[in-house]
Amino acid sequence: MKKAGSATDVLWFKDAIIYELHVRAFQDSNGDGVGDFPGLISRLDYLQDLGVTCLWLLPFFPSPLRDDGYDIANYVDVNPVYGTLADFKAFLDEAHKRGMQVLIELVINHTSDQHPWFQAARNAPSGSPLRDFYVWSQDNQRYRDVPIIFKDTEKSNWAWDEVAGAYYWHRFFSHQPDLNFDNEAVMEEVLKAMRFWLDMGVDALRMDAIPYLYERDGTRCESLPETHAAIKRIRAAIDADYTNRIILAEANQWPSDVRPYFGDGDECHMAFHFPLMPRIYMALRQEDRLPITDIMAQTPPIPDNCQWALFLRNHDELTLEMVTDDERDYMYYAYSADPKMRINVGIRRRLAPLVDNNRRRIELLNSLIFSFPGTPIVYYGDEIGMGDNIYLGDRNGVRTPMHWNPDRNAGFSTAVPERLYFPVVMDPIYGYQAVNVETQLSDQSSLLHWTRNMIALRKLFQVFGRGTLEFLSPTNRKVLAYLRRYTLLDGHIETVLCVANLSRFAQPALLDLAQFAGCVPVEMLGYVPFPPISQQLYAVTLTPYSFFWLELQPAPEAPQPPASLSDEEAAELARHPGDTEVQVPLTPDAPDTAQRSDLTRKTER
Ligand code: NOJ
């Protein structure tokens, strides 16, 4: 008997809205200055209300925390500072009760050097099975062409271990030795750890740093056939014993190089689209759609049961590995005026400061990841436009406590402020007194309300998570226009036209929509019918950084209004023939989406 996951649809991840958070940063329940699972449980209602459907938790396992928990010292327990296994289980159950899936980290490329496996390995005789858990060498010359990822910290991928009297291999920090997947015992331990969490009911696993599992002479030690065989084995183990569980690949590579991580639909269910992300920022700054259309043209089709994961920001630097040298220079120039904003090959800033706290730009960028083919991921705090702290080391400036209210420590903790794991952001623009959940909940025009509406709207249309993508080519390259299409199970075809103005000035565009002649575009946030489409080019005018999502609805058959209808009712019927569930905006003059917290209306079917 397979163990059921909490989701009921095998493709649940395609319709998901993922919210990425660190338990450490979310809510401290015991006043020790560090977030914990009881605290997180107390904030689940907020997340449910926001509308996100899947919670991605950054690593919460026992760890010396020298890489924010990606340096794991025990795969099958909870770091006591965040709570107990029972607390995690309680969190999992509470999330499931609210209809949210849970995604956790499976960091199998490396462990902490404090992991008992490494301690045993360095003390075990050379060549013994225990020593063999990691990758050792008597010299540091092997695999010399392999790039260094944390180049600001590390000078080599080899580190000398005094106890073992040998070098060990590490793709990340030197305190994170790489596991040796040529040793069958390693794979067995990994599968054991994986089953531990899946048995408990975890729905999804993010496969951290997955391209680097194997090393071979004469290669870049990335994406080797052995690595794909290992992933297939992991996937087969999941499919054999569990239902509706998924794995998400973290492979920071070009789309054509990521494609093999989906296999024939028998490797990872999802993979991050790394190269799209910096190009969204580039397109915005250059006011030109080309970076986006270009990278999407280079994105190969993926199997039907697979999905891209789309994001604007996450817990790491805004990585610039997947851009050309010129593009990287441009991104540094455009988005990191202060050298302190740079780290490794990227920029360590949050979404709001990256776009100069410009609300329209924030909305525009979100509209793109919410309407592109894939599953969008919201990084905690970005839904309220939190700022960062570039004076903290490493990537910690984007990992500060969540802002809940204007009280002490932003409502995150009752500890004395000095005791917090990181200080809360306090500057006048992004500080917690200005930017916090409580204030934004009481402000109907806040970014938080806007985000909630966008999430609600997206969830009404499967086309966003599942449909096809076709770009239109209006001559004005400041305008990005694309069609999303999807045929629902009942045969209804959802067709959505998205139009985005990447410019800081108003822009016109003429769209070739002749194939939809007769259809009526209905603006989806306000449910406002636009002029019908004809054989002529369709004219749209966009204010700076604005976007439209327009559902293309078939031409209404002109109904004869019964004599008893008032003029207003008759006009409404003419606009929405056959639609029995249209609700008028809550207040007569309130097409403003922020006024409507529940977008429950259904479109015509
Ligand atoms: C990728 C994670 O996103 C990053 O935060 C971490 O430092 C490296 N993997 C190493 O585990």
Distance (angstroms) between ligand 1 centre and the Cα of 70 equals 6
Q: How far is the centre of ligand 1, averaged over its atoms, from the C-alpha of 345 (Å)?
A: 13
For atom 3 of ligand 1, the residue with the nearest CA is: 316
Given CA atoms 41, 47, 48, 53 in this order, what sign does their dihedral have?
negative
The reported pLDDT for the residue numbered 462 is: 97
Per-residue pLDDT reduced to its tens digit, 173-225: 999 999 999 999 999 999 999 999 999 999 999 999 999 999 999 999 999 99
Written as six digits, the tokens of 459 are: 């969830």
Q: Do the domain assignments include residue 259? A: yes
Which atom of ligand 1 is least distant from the CA of 70?
A: 11
**Could you tell me the residue range of the domain that residue 530 belongs to?**
467-601
Active-site option among 67, 208, 394, 579: 208
Q: Measured from the CB, is residue 208 less than 6 Å from ligand 1?
A: yes
Residue 451 has pLDDT above 80, yes or no: yes
Would the CB of 67 count as within 6 Å of ligand 1?
A: yes
Indicate the pLDDT class of residue 572, thresholds 50, 70 and 90: low
pLDDT of residue 576: 54
Q: State whether the beta carbon of 209 lies less than 6 angstroms from ligand 1.
A: yes
Long-range contacts of 524-527 (CB under 8 A, 24+ apart): 524/457, 524/461, 524/496, 524/549, 524/550, 524/551, 525/453, 525/457, 525/549, 525/593, 525/599, 526/585, 526/591, 526/593, 527/582, 527/601
Ligand 1 site, residue 388, Cβ cutoff 6 A:
no
Distance in Å, CA 58 to ligand 1 centroid: 10
Which atom, in ligand 1's list, is nearest to the CA of 173? 10
d(CA 520, CA 259): 37
Q: Domain for residue 2, yes or no?
A: no
How many helices (DSSP H) and strands (DSSP E) are in the chain?
17, 22
- Name the residue with the closest Cα to ligand 1, atom 6: 70
pLDDT for 556? 76
Say if ligand 1 is within 6 A of residue 450 CB.
Answer: no
Q: How far is the CA of 37 from the centre of ligand 1 (A)?
A: 22
User: Of 71-80, 89-98, 230-239, 557-566, where does mean pLDDT reach its minimum?
Assistant: 557-566
With a 6 Å cutoff on the Cβ, whether 383 touches ligand 1 is no
Residue 124 lies in a domain: yes
User: Rounded mean pLDDT of the chain?
Assistant: 93
Predicted confidence (pLDDT) per residue in 478-514, tens digit: 999 999 999 999 999 999 999 999 999 999 999 999 9
- Can you give the pTM of this predicted structure? 0.93
pLDDT at 546: 98
CATH code where residue 156 lies: 3.90.400.10
Report DSSP state, residue 110.
B
Q: Is 317 one of the annotated active-site residues of the chain?
A: no
Residue 286 domain flag = yes
- Do 62 and 120 sit in the same domain of this protein? no
Rounded distance from Cα 261 to ligand 1 centre (Å) = 18
Question: What is the DSSP secondary structure assignment for residue 178, as one 8-state letter?
Answer: B
327 & 415 share domain: yes
Q: What is the pLDDT of residue 43?
A: 98
Exposure letters 332-365 (e unless 16+ CB within 10 A, then b): beebbeeeebbbbbbbbbbbbbbbeebeebbbbb
Burial class (CB in 10 A: 0-12, 13-18, 19+), 152: exposed
Specify the residue with its C-alpha closest to ligand 1, atom 5: 316
172 lines ligand 1 (CB under 6 A): yes
Question: How many angstroms is it from 48 CA to the middle of ligand 1?
Answer: 28
pLDDT digits (tens, 9 = 90+) for 44-100: 999 999 999 999 999 999 999 999 999 999 999 999 999 999 999 999 999 999 999
Region 531-535: mean pLDDT is 98
Going from the Cα of 36 to the center of ligand 1, the distance in angstroms, rounded, reads 21
Cα–Cα distances (Å) from 137 to 131, 150, 186, 223, 445, in that order, read 11, 21, 18, 22, 60
- Give the model confidence (pLDDT) of 359-377 as tens digits: 999 999 999 999 999 999 9
158/81 same-domain check: no
Question: Is 595 a residue whose pLDDT tops 60?
Answer: no
Same domain, 191 and 135: no
Do 252 and 369 belong to one domain?
yes
- As for how many domains the chain has, the answer is 3
Q: Are residues 240 and 352 in the same domain?
A: yes
Report how far ligand 1's centroid is from the alpha carbon of 430 (Å): 26
257-261, 311-315, 556-560: least confident range: 556-560
Residue 127 lies in a domain: yes
Q: Does residue 543 register a pLDDT over 60?
A: yes
Longest CA–CA span in the chain (Å) reads 94
Query: From atom 7 of ligand 1, which residue's Cα is the shortest distance away?
Result: 67
Domain end marker among 126, 142, 169: 169
What's the CA-to-centroid distance between 68 and ligand 1, angstroms? 8
Tell me: do 345 and 273 sit in the same domain.
Answer: yes
* Beta strand 520-523 pairing with 528-529: antiparallel
If asked whether residues 324 and 431 sit together in one domain, one would say yes
Q: Please report whether residue 256 resides in a domain.
A: yes
CA–CA distance, 164 with 174 (Å, rounded to integer): 15
Q: Is 316 in the pocket of ligand 1 (CB under 6 A)?
A: yes
What is the pLDDT confidence band of residue 557, given thresholds at 50, 70 and 90?
confident
Q: Are residues 164 and 80 located together in one domain of the fold? A: no
pLDDT value at 560 more than 90: no
pLDDT of residue 555: 83
The verdict on 324 and 356 lying in the same domain is yes
The response to whether residue 173 sits with its C-beta less than 6 Å from ligand 1 reads no
For ligand 1, pick from 60, 67, 343 the residue to mutate: most ligand atoms within 8 Å of CB. Answer: 67
| Domain endpoint, select from 458, 481, 498 | 458
- Same-domain check for residues 289 and 382: yes
70 lines ligand 1 (CB under 6 A): yes
Query: Is there a domain that residue 179 lies in?
Result: no
Please indicate whether residue 193, judged by its CB atom, sits closer than 6 Å to ligand 1.
Answer: no
Q: How far apart are CA 191 and CA 422, in angstroms?
A: 34
The answer to which of 63-77, 212-226, 423-437, 586-600 has the lowest mean pLDDT is 586-600
**How far does residue 208's CA lie from ligand 1's centre (Å)?**
7
The domain boundary, picked from 437, 458, 479, lies at 458
**Claim to verify: residue 336 and residue 382 sit in the same structural domain:** yes
Q: Answer yes or no: 512 catalytic.
A: no
Catalytic choice (67, 71, 178, 250): 250
Residue in 20, 57, 172, 398 to alter for ligand 1 test, most ligand atoms within 8 A of Cβ: 172
pLDDT value, residue 591: 36
Task: Kindly state whether residue 218 falls inside one of the protein's structural domains.
Answer: yes
Give CA–CA dist 214/228, Å, rounded: 10
Atom of ligand 1 nearest to the CA of 171: 10
Decide if pLDDT at 579 tops 60.
no
Q: How far apart are the first and last CA of the chain?
A: 39
Q: Position 205: which residue type? A: L
Ligand 1 proximity of 203 Cβ (cutoff 6 Å): no
CATH code, domain carrying 569: 2.60.40.1180
Listed residue (527, 523, 528) closest to 548, CA to CA: 523
DSSP 530-591: PPPP-SSPEEEEE-TT-EEEEEEEPPPP-----TTS-HHHHHHHHHSTT-S-----SSTT--
Query: Residue 499 pairs with which residues in a beta bridge?
Result: 481, 548
